[in-house]
Structure 1
Amino acid sequence: MAEDNHSSSQGIVLPNPSKVGKEKSPADLSNPYFIHPSDHSGLVLVSKPLNGDNYSSWKRSMIRALNTRNKLGFINGSMLAPSKANNPEGHATWSRCNDIIYSSIVNTCDPKIADSVNFYSTAREVWEDLDTRFSQGNLARIFEIQRDTTLHRNSTTTTDTTA
């Protein structure tokens, strides 16, 4: 039996109580800092690039892809950068993960959109900018379509009653 584990009377392996609550190893799959060998700066997480019109489905796909890699914290703000002065190793690890996520987001955008977010320094800033710009959808176009549909119905109704 490994020294980090204790066994119970049922033969179940329990964590060593002295290790519970300790920081996770970067090699631990559940650690947000874990980088799989397939994770790299050229990684494309979703098959359909963000073109502006498909933001809702792109966002859902990206959230799923980031969640499977335990990286949502980098875009929702729960994984803040450690202090570079107080924790240089932690900051370097965070920065490496942030850069992979940043690149993965940009790699799944239309080139014009990708160019527009190139100067942000964190994946969270890119995510927030894209959300601000595209989460609204094309409200003006939606209004036009609804108006045209209503006008068409009204003109059809008016024509039918006069005949």
Structure 2
Amino acid sequence: MKRVNKILNNHSYNLYMDKINKAETHRIFCLHNLEHLLDVARIAYILTLERDVPLDKEIIYASALLHDIGRWQQYLDESDHALVSAELAIDILKACDFNQQEIQLIIQAIKKHREGNDLSTDLDFILYEADKQSRLCINCKSSHQCMKKEDIKNQSIEY
């Protein structure tokens, strides 16, 4: 998990996380903080173990930690945070010693995690599902105001 810890200590990563935290100071809906990112990572890792999917733990955690880092940009100009996150993640992954093949795999999963369209790799499927499973809609005080479609609100705990 050496490279994952490099991500957590990366200057750009922390800058983006600070921007998200500031933008979400008064947010009543789901937050995109480190707790959420680690929830996604841990659920994704559980899914890979349960399904005997051959994905490296560092790849899973890197994907989860980086999948929402573009949220702050979405708050500014309504950009697609999945696409922004993928772009921002490239330099962080390079700085944290991920190789080109790993970077491409992670970037693709980040790009596809929001809508779940055209999922093709194990990581695409795992990150998408873990992100959705991580939310506790069943216990959310703002659920009645949430814009998520009712059929995708997480109404049970699986992980």
TM-score range normalised by the length of the shorter chain: under 0.3
Q: TM-score, normalised by structure 2?
A: 0.27
* Higher helix residue share: 2
Q: TM-score, normalised by structure 1?
A: 0.27
